[in-house]
Amino acid sequence: MKTSKYLGLILLFLSGAGIIAKGQDTILNRNVLVERVYRPVIQDAGKINSLPQVLESKVERMAAKYSDFNLPLNADFNIHTLPAAELATEKNLGKQNFARIGFGTYLNTLVDAAFPLINTSDMLLNVTLNHLGTLEAKRCHTSSKADISFSKLFKTFNLYAGVGGGHEYVKYYGNSFNRDTIADFSSIAITQGGSIYSEINRTGVNSASRLYTVNALATDPSADTFWRLNSVVGLQSLALAKDIRYQAEVKYNLFSSINGLTEHQIHTVAKFSSPSKKDRMGLDMDLYNMIYNSTTIPAFNFWNIYSVLNLNPYYSIDREQWNVRLGVKSAVSFVLGNIFSPSADISGEWKLFPKVLTVYAGITGGYELNSLDKTLAENPYLFSDLRVNDTYTPMNLFAGVKAKPFYNVLVDAYVNFRQINNQYFFVNKEYKLINAPTPLTVADSSLFSNRFNVIYSNSTLLKVGARISYHWQDILNVELKGAYNGWNVATEQYAWNKPKYEAELNIGYKIDKSFSVAVNGFYEGGRFAKLGSVAITMPDKMDVNLSVNYQYNKQLGAFAKINNLINSQYQDFYGYDVQGINFMLGAAVSF
């Protein structure tokens, strides 16, 4: 295990260093202003860790400014490990239909399709289909969705709308535990089926702990099914409007679990800004209305109806070499927790030496709704009757520097400090023995299921990170990024399941007009799981992935992928091991 871990680190960083050295003599200066309307993005298959990515409908119009120097990078970014291998498949839709299908070991499957029914200069109507999953008997997990998006450009504004639906099947394949080791609840139930246990750390509105027999724990559902429905309608002023700018939008999201809760979310967005001499002043408003119900859970730990209003007035100053945003954020909760949750919204950027060096800093914060849709996409093995309490960040302080020693190299380094109230951490669900008809072993006095609960604590996070990106014409792209996470958790020993160290390397190389290859590697270390009062050191995540793409012509292409090239054995969540080395082959067609 150690040998493969160190081999992976060597491959990850030395391969990046070797490729960066190529092409340094070529200096390319690209600074292009691009305006475009929404087009569907076909997501890559990614790496299937029996954790398919849940995709949301995105229907919007945007203007993008591409610059070799001023590349966007959020100072408090997180490194995403899924999808793990980016495939450079050309998705040149134009007015053509597009379809892609892939099949691999462990019965891993991929389907992507896009049908631009209308694609004119002022109107778009697109239909997209996505599926990613593993049909492997042990780790079966699939996610499928379809959506329709519409956009109509008028003289002064853009009208857009969309609707999408999705289905996700989740199998709870992870290990369960007692105080000492892996435990099989069915085996314990043979002799101790009537023993009564009480759940631990049930917090919320209905916070009384529930009682379970071992028989009930052994017969808990072994899988769950989630249904999602998303719709949106809105209008937005043109992106380059100089006078009044506005956006009005209404979203409706439905999340429903077969074994848990149903969540209705109505999200209303209103944004408005107007010129103030050379500057701009504006107001952003978000109103969330949440409704919860269940036909299977008699008492769940949240309110039936719940609303939050976010207000963000600001004043923006934008000059050629510097910009500043001065604002405040305030969240008003009409049921839960603090009635009023304020934070600053101040940020700025100064181009000390244009095209060479920029510094940026800010202090912000915010109130985050932890909806079922959000948390079960983050961890699908969470108890589906648990609505996680919201998170409030009164202070999020960041500063960084972006340097460009060459036209095709960007270095971005930052430091970020956050004060977080009610931060949640995933822990295996715990049950303590209340009564046993016959004596039980000490080990079985506490049981831990393969579904997850959360523990809350006020916390601080010091994050220090950097990113180096390199671009050589349209042939080579390299990005290396890493971060250190210094958690200080008030009431817990560790920040459970959170990594202390993160690193990721992405390399894309176009051999010729037909062949391209991509390498992706990532690392996460310093993670701990919690079983009762015991801290468990989790294996480091180390993964290297390779993909090859062949484009026969504009209509037909093929791809091959090797994931987990070093056959690394790690767990995304405690008890849930990922697939070893696996392969996928597929083809793409435009018509």
pLDDT digits (tens, 9 = 90+) for 144-193: 999 999 999 998 899 999 999 999 999 999 999 998 899 999 999 998 99
Burial class (CB within 10 angstroms; exposed 0-12, middle 13-18, buried 19+) of 3: exposed
Residue 6 has pLDDT above 90, yes or no: no
Please give the average per-residue pLDDT across 46-70, as a whole number. Answer: 34
Write out pLDDT tens, residues 503-544: 999 999 999 989 999 999 999 999 999 998 899 999 999 999
Higher pLDDT, 49 or 249: 249
pTM confidence score: 0.83
Q: How many domains does the chain have?
A: 1
Write out pLDDT tens, residues 539-551: 999 999 999 999 9
Contact 561, 583 (CB under 8 A): yes
- Give the pLDDT of residue 54: 35
Q: What's the whole-number average pLDDT of the chain?
A: 83
Q: Provide the residue range defining the domain that includes 95.
A: 2-590
Cis check for the bond before 354: say yes or no (omega within 30 of 0).
no
- Give the pLDDT of residue 295: 77
Question: Tokens 């091991």 — which residue?
Answer: 577
Please give the average per-residue pLDDT across 390-395, as a whole number. Answer: 95
Q: Residue 266 has which token pair?
A: 């109505």
If we measure between CA atoms, which residue out of 127, 168, 130 comes closest to residue 46?
Answer: 130
- Give the pLDDT of residue 419: 97
Q: Rounded distance, CA 513 to CA 300, Å?
A: 57
- Give the pLDDT of residue 142: 94
* Cβ atoms < 10 Å from Cβ of 502: 23
Q: Rounded distance, CA 461 to CA 441, Å?
A: 40
Residue 183 belongs to what H/E stretch? Answer: strand 182-183
Length of the chain: 591
- Give the pLDDT of residue 82: 27
Contact 112, 130 (CB under 8 A): yes
Buried b (16+ CB within 10 A) or exposed e, 86-109: bbbbebebeeeebbbbbebbbebb
- Give the pLDDT of residue 296: 76
Write out pLDDT tens, residues 427-447: 999 999 999 988 888 889 999
Please give the average per-residue pLDDT across 287-296, as a whole number. Answer: 90
Among 38-47, 154-163, 329-338, 400-409, the least confident range: 38-47
CA angle, residues 351, 355, 360, in degrees to nearest 5: 30
- Give the pLDDT of residue 59: 34
**What percent of the chain has a predicted confidence (pLDDT) above 70?**
82
- Give the pLDDT of residue 136: 92
- Give the pLDDT of residue 195: 95
Write out pLDDT tens, residues 314-336: 999 999 999 999 999 999 998 77
- Give the pLDDT of residue 37: 31
CATH number at residue 431: 2.40.170.20
SS3 271: strand
If we measure between CA atoms, which residue out of 300, 352, 350, 362 comes closest to residue 325?
Answer: 362
- Give the pLDDT of residue 242: 74
- Give the pLDDT of residue 205: 66
Contact 528, 426 (CB under 8 A): no
Beta bridge partner(s), residue 543: 522
Contact 229, 254 (CB under 8 A): yes
